[in-house]
């Protein structure tokens, strides 16, 4: 299944004992439709307040062969009982053994910035407000410095548990539509808070605190203190997940 959700009310995707998560609410919906609670596997662990435009998950009903309910009917039934901030965009039979996380070849994230000194009530919790002017040419000059296969230790927040911090970024660019500035970044994987730190580093370059051409040295240092701030979660979106056979854009 492919989900779209507004993460404002949730403490991320992953089930937590003392906080409401997207997965918990989704499982509640599945239980109401199918009559029992099923294990769900997700493509990522989005953090609290982070949104998704194309979150992929798998749901296996081993005792139902063939399934008791067609995919389209299941999608419709779930959308009728899930809250308004979670939607099932697509539902299809998956190949045997499919895993939405381990079979993924790349992911694309967006970070949205409302670039104005005046707040936008309609983007509350959906974009980060940055009051100082963002030059698109300077932002893209900085964004290009992150491309390729690199050690991104400098862009990993404390608490990240993976030891191997080498990742490949296939694309990283910034575009402006009026006062809304959007960073789009696609890679074969991302570290803890990596996109939020990457975007914060680009804003540091726009502010003149970091020269774009100094970013490779910043990455080579493998030192989190040399990168920009970790921006708030409300501007971050998991946009798309790629699998074998998909053209990575």
| Rounded CA separation 20/219 (Å) | 36
Query: What H or E segment, with its residue span, contains residue 106?
Result: strand 106-114
- The question of whether 47 is a catalytic residue gets the answer yes
| Rounded CA separation 99/84 (Å) | 27
Helix (H, G, I), strand (E, B) or coil at 199: helix
Q: Which residues, 6 or more positions from 155, have their beta carbon under 8 angstroms from its beta carbon?
A: 191, 193, 194, 197, 198, 201, 219, 224, 227
Alpha carbon distance, N-terminus to C-terminus of the chain? 21
**Token representation of residue 89:** 């965009």
Query: What H or E segment, with its residue span, contains residue 28?
Result: helix 22-34
The backbone torsions φ and ψ at residue 7, rounded to the nearest 5 degrees and listed phi first, read: -85, 5
| Rounded CA separation 103/242 (Å) | 9
Beta strand 236-242 pairing with 180-187: unpaired
Which entry of 47, 188, 214, 223 is annotated as an active-site residue? 47
What are the DSSP E strand ranges found in 43-103? 51-59, 86-90
**Token representation of residue 203:** 């804003």
Catalytic (active-site) positions: 47
């Amino acid at each position: 299944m492919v989900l779209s959700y507004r993460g404002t009310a949730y403490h991320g995707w992953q089930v937590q004992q003392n906080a409401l998560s997207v997965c918990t609410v989704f499982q509640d919906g599945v239980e109401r439709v199918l009559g029992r609670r099923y294990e769900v596997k997700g493509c990522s662990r989005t953090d609290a307040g982070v949104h998704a435009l194309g979150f992929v998950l798998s749901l296996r009903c081993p005792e139902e062969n063939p399934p008791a309910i067609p995919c389209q009917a299941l999608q419709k039934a779930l959308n009728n009982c899930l809250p308004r901030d979670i939607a099932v965009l697509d539902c299809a039979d998956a190949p045997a053994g499919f895993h939405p996380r381990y079979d993924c070849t790349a992911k694309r994230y967006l970070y949205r910035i409302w670039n104005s000194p005046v707040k936008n009530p309609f983007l509350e919790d959906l974009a980060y407000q940055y009051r100082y002017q963002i030059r698109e040419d300077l932002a893209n000059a900085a964004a290009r410095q992150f491309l390729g296969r690199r050690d991104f230790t400098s862009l990993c927040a404390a608490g990240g548990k993976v030891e191997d911090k080498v990742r490949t970024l296939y694309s990283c660019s910034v575009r402006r539509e009026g006062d809304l500035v959007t960073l789009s970044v696609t890679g074969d994987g991302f570290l803890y808070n990596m996109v939020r730190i990457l975007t914060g580093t680009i804003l540091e370059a726009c502010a003149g605190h970091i020269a774009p051409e100094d970013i490779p040295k910043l990455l080579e240092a493998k030192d989190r203190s040399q990168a920009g701030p970790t921006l708030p979660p409300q501007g971050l979106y998991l946009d798309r997940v790629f699998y074998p056979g998909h053209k990575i854009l």
